Amino acid sequence: MKKLIQKYLFNRWAAFLHDILWVPLALILAYLLRFNFDGLPGAYQLALYKLLIVAPPIQGFIFWLFGLYRGFWRFASIPDLVRILNSAGTGTIVLAGCSGFLMRFQGVPRSVFILYPLLLVGGLCSSRILFRWLKDHRISLRKRSGKRTLIVGAGRAGELLVRDLLHRVEYEPVAFLDDNPGLKSREIHGVRVVGKLNDITQIVPEQDIDLVILAIPSAGKKVIQHLVQLCREVKVVFQTLPSVLEMQGMDVVADHLRPVTVDDLLGREPVQLDKKAISGYLFGKTVLVTGGGGSIGSELCRQVASQQPDTLIIFDHGEFNIYTIDHELRANFPDLQLETILGDVKDRDRLDWVFSFFGPDVIFHAAAYKHVPMVEVNPAEGVRNNVYGTQCVADAADRHQAKKFVLVSTDKAVNPANVMGATKRAAELYCQNLDRRSETSFITTRFGNVLGSTGSVVPLFQRQIESGGPVTVTHEKITRYFMTIPESVSLILQAGAMGRGGEIFVLDMGEPVLIKDLAEQMIRLSGLEPGKDIEIVYTGLRPGEKLYEELLHKSEGLQPTSHEKLLLARSRKVEWSWLTEKMVCLQQAASSRNIEKLRKCLQDVVPEFKREEKGQSVVTITDTIQN
């Protein structure tokens, strides 16, 4: 680090010295040009000597003031040219004032004040351009040993990416592919657009390509799947830039390239968000995220932090999880007022202290047990955490008059066939009905499985593939809805902005995914063949597991909202005294570990709760939206 600082300072002072030397040179050349290089009369020589004394310190101070030495010559660009023009113009005006004050313009031809800035700008710019050209030319010559790279996508992301790749010896950008006919045969930073996306199978062998980079962050899953298939056909290594959602606030550089993942193949089309509305209820507010160390909770913390809240409170019972997200956020958001609180959502005293001391305006309740088989064999703990824990946080929000409470729920709460789903449905009911009695707005968000989240099938498949298989799938026909973690969280924030209280927002999840196909895609992404290199074994449905997931109960009837990807389900009204009585029953049964009583109380609250061993047919959103 010390050597890097010394090198930076040396380069900075070297550039400053170079620019200072150009000041007297430009003045001398301006005088010589004025007199056609025939020599200067004595009176003009004296005036020139005086200008040569005062000009370097004045112009040097102006150079520094205008920030000519903040950047590097190697990356000189239009902003640097603007700074040079401004500093040369300002310096000329100051020098003209000095010559008038000191010499009353005697011996100073007016043309000098026109020639001087032109010569100075020319000298400073030509040196920088030459330096950058030499650097780029030298790198270009060395790149013959780098990976011959084909960039798919010649848009803004592709242009920024190739600009970065040209400065790296490990890459040799060879060509672009893009479906825009107006770009055919055009060059971007010297790299030609040679065809369309479908030409991958032709260009890769022709150009001896080592690496294909997908530089289309806004591409949908169908485009990505098609491009990946083409790359597989010619057996070439491929990487991608992150999606638009992931790229927020990031520069388009080679450091962010990564392998194509199952998230890219199963992720849905990019979602447009009302960023102004989201910022409107988070900016400058105190925000509490329960379960903030989990996969969904930690992403909630990241996206909330980007909205510049006054204070972000992370509440979690897992010491390592909360330490990890705390460390990350402090590094990425150094100006954020961050509070990390160890605690249990079932601890009313701890919650009361948090609400009394910090007074959160918005609460995102993501703390929950969500692993279906684990909760199925530990039903009492599932009820205590998912139902009683939600009740404790919701009651605290009500008592302390928080503005909004957003419950993170799941599609497994619909016609639940397992304890986990039933507990989440009970939590939904409590929040919906508490909303009618509270100043706080209680909002529920419901969506399907999240790719890569803790306990999801994707990390399990990945571990099984890395160990050589087999990959275990419970049933050949089992399907699930999927979404990425960043997308799920962004829609939670969007629902929070749209909700006024009592709503259940359901995400339009598109088409369900056959888990067998997911397993096969993950095996192929690892460079292996399913059935040949890695076997897929069917183990049978687990306790409480459905064959098909559902997004709504038949009585809920979805309504469209102002956001095309968020739909509104009708909430279920129940008598408050009856509901609170059942909540007490559930809590007592869970505390005494009376599982029979617990299941009966749970079925009283959620009458649609029943175990299904053979699966159920899916209820599709498009069939249930009411016009």
Write out the catalytic residue numbers: 412
DSSP state of 534: B
* DSSP assignment string, 191-246: EEEEE-GGGHHHHHHHTT-SEEEE--TT--HHHHHHHHHHHHHTT-EEEEPPPTTT
Residue 470's nearest CA partner among 405, 535, 377, 548 is 535
Measured CA to CA in angstroms, residue 195 lies from 198, 212, 301, 532 at distances of 8, 14, 42, 35
Residues in CB range of 266: below 8 A, 6 or more apart: 221, 451, 482, 513, 518, 521
Tokens 């962050």 appear where? 217
Task: Say which amino acid occupies 597.
Answer: K
Give me the residue label for tokens 């009837």.
557
Preceding omega of 79 cis (within 30 degrees of 0): no
Could you tell me if 226 and 233 are in contact, meaning their C-beta atoms sit under 8 angstroms apart? no
Residues constituting the chain = 627
**141, amino acid identity:** L
End-to-end CA distance of the chain: 64
Q: Report CA torsion sign: 373, 376, 377, 380.
A: positive
Neighbours of 133 (CB within 10 A): 10
Q: DSSP readout, 137-195?
A: HHHHHHGGGSEEEEEE--SHHHHHHHHHHTT-TTEEEEEEE-S-GGGTT-EETTEEEEE
